[in-house]
């Protein structure tokens, strides 16, 4: 038994593992399972304590995902050379439209509605017009993206109407399900009503015959006895509860008694809030921008500004994934995304970013993302800025805020309308409390270096240990990639280094110290590149791609349960023999019934009933052999399968021998022509046998006799 788990490594990379759930060997993949026996725990083999609460994970292997993407994004007849790496980069960029950590999703794209499949279809249709791919090493060709967004904008109205219809259908099914639950629970039926086979049915309904009535009556008696035995206790409990509530009301001076909520009140409480935008009706754009942005219907320039800001964010996110952070002060300044039809002339948009920016320090970052309820993780003098009414930035930390469901059902699916933090105003305010930081808090607020831990069994352990000899390396020393599995960068001595054999003191009081460490730590710095350097998004030289693991059946996700069927020629299923053919095809292959080339046998009138027998032999397995023999004999009478040199002595084909068609009989009639796929040899068609220029060939030596 195995379980799939997926861990997120970064914003754009995942890793999939197939973990075995063997309880005797914890924490291993299925391919590493040894099937070991359970080890004794404690003196009496006590039960093991659970490691943690059960958690469901979804794992994905990037190599398997790559195979699926190759199948989806492979296109023929492109006006430019096909490159799978570039197609995958385009697919990553298109996924931005369904939302990510930095941008909201477009209103017309929902993952649960198959938005990614829709984008792939639009992409494969528009890529023939673009003249090339949409992205190149983190740079977006906006003129080509405009074509896809324009096609998406043309079908937005249809998407919203279909979404509305699907929501209404889902609500209807939910109401029917609740009604069935209430009926099955007996809430709408009296206690004395019969159930099971004896349950009353409507006059026009189907009444099934009663089977095994004794067991049904016994079950009804048992349920009635249980209901009668539990009813007095329930009545006493209800009476006691009513008397207790009445006495409590009398003692408090209240005369009004509690009442049970009606079904209509419950439904009213569960009713979703009304959607004032109504995307499925005409004029949805005007209502959307007026409700979400507070802008009138005539201000179309504002819509274009929102769309341009979204495009700029799309370019920032792609550069962040492929080239690093393009700017540390960029953010999307709106809570909602524009419509796809609002992206107009985006090809001429300036997408340059200011490189002279720096990231927040750790405490500044916490001040910009933490609510006031988490102020205990900040220095005391900084905490007052989050809850003091006279704080100059008190508006950054609202206690109550609105959550817009935005057409969703649950609050966690809505949009939290929190205020955007003004970076400059925050930094100016923090300058007054910086002097209050202690030395430890100042170190905590600094931008430190990365620490590299290397085990003593590593090939680079001796090289790193030698750095601490003498005065130690203060300036970075370049690593040898051959000793570090291809890792490049600079290393230098760590003032708080942990060497082999030393004790590593845990920075957290909840964790124990590591005794007798077997590793060495150094400070690590990434390789330095020119600010304008472009990291090419292509397969690295010498990269080894794992062998393909998917089979043709794995790609057939459109029609699950069916086998893989390759396309032959220009028509699907051409030249393919279906595994479950229709009745007509089966009759043609077997040479029986009305679809064979010989006439069916004459029906004999029954002397008793005066009616012909039923034609069950056409579909019955038991009668198929007899029907085949009758058709074959009938074919001989009509002249089918008659050739020179074959047949009984004397050339008589009208009557079979008296002993029948047995393998021991000297007479073996020639086989009739049919479409049977079981025969190794079929006699030629009579049309060709009448050709005087056709030579007659004897049957092969291994010809199957009947």
Q: What is the DSSP string of 265-322?
A: HHHHHHPPPP-SS-TTSTTHHHHHHHHHT---TT-HHHHHHHHHHHHHHHHHHHHHHH
- Judgement on whether residues 334 and 398 belong to the same structural domain of the protein: no
Domain assignment present for 92:
yes
pLDDT tens digit sequence for 524-561: 999 989 888 999 998 888 888 888 888 777 766 555 55
> Any idea how long the chain is?
706
Residues 149, 158: Cα–Cα separation, whole Å: 15
Neighbours of 282 (CB within 10 A): 9
Percent of the chain at pLDDT exceeding 70: 60
User: Looking at residue 47, what is its pLDDT?
Assistant: 57
Does residue 42 contact residue 49 with C-beta atoms inside 8 Å? no
From 394, 425, 442, the end of a domain falls on 442
Domain assignment present for 538:
no
Domain assignment present for 656:
no
Domain extent at residue 407 = 362-442
User: Looking at residue 500, what is its pLDDT?
Assistant: 79
Angle, alpha carbons 16-21-27 (nearest 5°): 65
Neighbours of 118 (CB within 10 A): 19
- Judgement on whether residues 153 and 289 belong to the same structural domain of the protein: yes
Residues 163, 49: Cα–Cα separation, whole Å: 48
Binned at pLDDT 50, 70 and 90, residue 221 comes out as confident
- Judgement on whether residues 438 and 451 belong to the same structural domain of the protein: no
- Judgement on whether residues 592 and 686 belong to the same structural domain of the protein: yes
Q: How far is CA 556 from the centre of its chain?
A: 15
Domain assignment present for 699:
no
Residue 483 CB partners (closer than 8 Å, separation 6+): 458, 459, 460, 463
SS3 521: strand
Say yes or no to pLDDT of 625 above 60. Answer: yes
Number of domains, the chain? 5
Q: Looking at residues 181-192, what average pLDDT do you find?
A: 62
Burial class of residue 675, CB neighbours in 10 A (0-12, 13-18, 19+): middle
User: Looking at residue 458, what is its pLDDT?
Assistant: 86
User: Looking at residue 462, what is its pLDDT?
Assistant: 86
Higher pLDDT, 545 or 232: 545
Domain assignment present for 395:
yes
Domain assignment present for 324:
yes
Domain assignment present for 615:
no
- For the chain, give the mean pLDDT: 74
Structure tokens at 70: 């190759």
Residue 394 CB partners (closer than 8 Å, separation 6+): 385, 386, 387, 388
User: Looking at residue 603, what is its pLDDT?
Assistant: 52
Q: Look-up: residue for tokens 């039809």? A: 341
Structure tokens at 573: 């299923």
Q: Looking at residues 148-159, what average pLDDT do you find?
A: 93
Residues 682, 640: Cα–Cα separation, whole Å: 12
Does residue 321 contact residue 138 with C-beta atoms inside 8 Å? yes
pLDDT tens digit sequence for 372-412: 999 999 999 999 999 999 999 999 999 899 999 888 877 88
- Judgement on whether residues 148 and 297 belong to the same structural domain of the protein: yes
Q: How far is CA 141 from the centre of its chain?
A: 29
- Among 52-56, 59-63, 573-577, 646-650, which stretch is predicted with the lowest mean pLDDT? 646-650
User: Looking at residue 448, what is its pLDDT?
Assistant: 84
Higher pLDDT, 2 or 217: 217
List, edge to edge, every strand of the sheet that includes 519-525: 450-455, 519-525, 490-492, 477-478
Q: How far is CA 181 from the centre of its chain?
A: 30
Q: Residues of 393-413 as b/e, b for ≥16 C-beta within 10 angstroms?
A: beebbeeeeeebebbeeeeee
The pTM (predicted TM-score) of the whole model is 0.64
Say yes or no to pLDDT of 683 above 50. Answer: no
pLDDT tens digit sequence for 313-347: 999 999 999 999 999 999 999 999 999 999 999 99
Domain assignment present for 175:
no
Say yes or no to pLDDT of 189 above 80. Answer: no
Residues 108, 20: Cα–Cα separation, whole Å: 40
Percent of the chain at pLDDT exceeding 90: 32
User: Looking at residue 638, what is its pLDDT?
Assistant: 61
Residue 518 CB partners (closer than 8 Å, separation 6+): 455, 456, 457, 500, 501
User: Looking at residue 265, what is its pLDDT?
Assistant: 60
- Judgement on whether residues 464 and 517 belong to the same structural domain of the protein: yes
Say yes or no to pLDDT of 46 above 80. Answer: no
User: Looking at residue 270, what is its pLDDT?
Assistant: 60
From 511, 530, 549, the end of a domain falls on 530
For the ranges 308-312, 566-570, 590-594, 627-631, the one whose mean pLDDT is highest: 308-312
Q: What is the DSSP string of 99-150?
A: --SSSPPPTT--GGGTHHHHHHHHHHHHHHHHSS-SEETTEE-HHHHHHHHH
Residue 477's DSSP bridge partners are 491
- Judgement on whether residues 72 and 143 belong to the same structural domain of the protein: yes
- Judgement on whether residues 25 and 81 belong to the same structural domain of the protein: no
- Judgement on whether residues 466 and 504 belong to the same structural domain of the protein: yes
- Among 139-153, 170-184, 371-385, which stretch is predicted with the lowest mean pLDDT? 170-184
- Judgement on whether residues 80 and 126 belong to the same structural domain of the protein: yes
pLDDT tens digit sequence for 353-371: 998 899 999 999 999 999 9
Say yes or no to pLDDT of 278 above 80. Answer: yes
Higher pLDDT, 678 or 624: 624
- Among 34-43, 82-91, 110-119, which stretch is predicted with the lowest mean pLDDT? 34-43
Residues 595, 619: Cα–Cα separation, whole Å: 13
- Among 24-28, 272-276, 513-517, which stretch is predicted with the lowest mean pLDDT? 24-28
For the ranges 486-490, 505-509, 573-577, the one whose mean pLDDT is highest: 486-490
Q: Look-up: residue for tokens 């005391």? A: 380
- Judgement on whether residues 326 and 384 belong to the same structural domain of the protein: no
User: Looking at residue 470, what is its pLDDT?
Assistant: 74
Residues 303, 284: Cα–Cα separation, whole Å: 13
- Judgement on whether residues 157 and 298 belong to the same structural domain of the protein: yes
């Amino acid at each position: 038994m195995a379980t799939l788990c997926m861990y997120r490594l970064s914003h754009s990379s995942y890793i999939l593992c197939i973990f075995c759930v063997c309880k005797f060997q914890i924490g291993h993949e299925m391919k590493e399972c040894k099937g070991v026996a359970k080890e004794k725990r404690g003196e009496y083999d006590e039960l093991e304590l659970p490691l943690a609460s059960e958690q469901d994970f979804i794992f994905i292997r990037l190599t398997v995902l790559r195979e699926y993407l190759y199948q989806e994004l492979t296109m023929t007849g492109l006006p430019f050379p096909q490159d799978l790496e570039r197609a995958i980069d385009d697919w990553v960029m298109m996924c931005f439209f369904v939302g990510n950590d930095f941008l909201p999703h477009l209103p017309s794209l929902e993952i649960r509605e198959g938005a990614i499949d829709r984008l792939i279809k639009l992409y494969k249709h528009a890529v023939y017009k673009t003249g090339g791919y949409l992205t190149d090493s983190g740079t977006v060709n906006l003129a080509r993206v405009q074509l896809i967004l324009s096609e998406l904008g043309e079908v937005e109205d249809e998407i919203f109407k279909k979404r509305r219809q699907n929501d209404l259908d889902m609500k209807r099914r939910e109401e029917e399900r609740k009604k069935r639950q209430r009926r099955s629970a007996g809430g709408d039926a009296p206690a004395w009503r019969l159930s099971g086979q004896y349950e009353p049915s409507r006059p026009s309904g189907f009444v099934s015959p009663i089977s095994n009535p004794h067991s049904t009556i016994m079950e009804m008696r048992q349920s009635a006895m249980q209901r009668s035995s539990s009813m007095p206790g329930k009545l006493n409990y209800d009476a006691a509860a009513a008397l207790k509530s009445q006495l409590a009301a009398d003692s408090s001076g209240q005369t009004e008694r509690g009442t049970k909520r009606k079904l209509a009140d419950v439904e009213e409480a569960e009713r979703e809030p009304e959607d004032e935008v109504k995307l499925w009706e005409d004029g949805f754009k005007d209502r959307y921008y007026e409700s979400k942005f507070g802008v009138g219907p005539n201000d179309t320039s504002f819509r274009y500004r929102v769309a341009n800001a979204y495009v700029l964010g799309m370019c920032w996110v792609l550069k962040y994934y492929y080239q690093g952070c393009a700017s540390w002060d960029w953010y999307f300044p709106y809570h909602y995304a524009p419509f796809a039809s609002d992206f107009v002339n985006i090809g001429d948009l300036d997408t340059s970013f200011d490189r002279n920016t720096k990231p927040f320090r750790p405490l500044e970052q916490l001040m910009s993302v933490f609510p006031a309820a988490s102020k205990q993780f900040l220095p005391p003098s900084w905490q007052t800025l989050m809850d003091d009414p006279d704080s100059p930035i008190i508006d950054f930390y609202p206690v109550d805020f609105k959550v817009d469901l935005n057409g969703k059902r649950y609050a966690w699916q809505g949009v939290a309308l929190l205020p955007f933090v003004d970076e400059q105003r925050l930094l100016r305010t923090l300058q007054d409390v910086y002097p209050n930081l202690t030395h430890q808090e100042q170190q905590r607020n600094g931008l430190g270096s990365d620490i590299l831990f290397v085990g003593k069994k590593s090939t680079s352990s001796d090289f790193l240990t030698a750095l601490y000899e003498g005065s130690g390396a203060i300036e970075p020393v370049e690593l040898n990639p051959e000793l570090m599995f291809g890792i490049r960068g600079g290393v230098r001595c760590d003032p708080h280094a942990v060497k082999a054999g030393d004790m590593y003191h845990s920075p957290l009081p909840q964790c124990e110290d590591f005794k007798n460490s077997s590793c060495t730590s150094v400070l690590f710095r990434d390789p330095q590149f020119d600010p304008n350097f472009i990291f090419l998004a292509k397969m690295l030289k010498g990269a080894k791609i794992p062998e393909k693991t998917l089979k043709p059946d794995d790609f057939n996700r459109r029609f699950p349960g069916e086998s893989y069927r390759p396309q032959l020629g220009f028509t699907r299923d051409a030249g393919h023999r279906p595994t479950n053919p229709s009745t007509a095809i089966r009759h043609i292959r077997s040479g029986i019934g009305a679809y064979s080339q010989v006439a069916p046998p004459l029906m004999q009138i029954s002397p008793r009933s005066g009616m012909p027998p039923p034609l069950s032999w056409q579909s019955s397995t038991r009668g198929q052999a007899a029907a085949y023999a009758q058709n074959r004999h009938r074919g001989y009478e009509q002249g089918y399968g008659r050739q020179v040199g074959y047949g009984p002595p004397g050339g008589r084909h009208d009557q079979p021998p008296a002993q029948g068609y047995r393998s021991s009989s000297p007479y073996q009639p020639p086989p009739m022509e049919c479409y049977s796929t079981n025969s190794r040899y079929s006699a030629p068609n009579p049309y060709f046998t009448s050709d005087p220029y056709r030579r007659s060939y004897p049957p092969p030596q291994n010809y199957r006799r009947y």
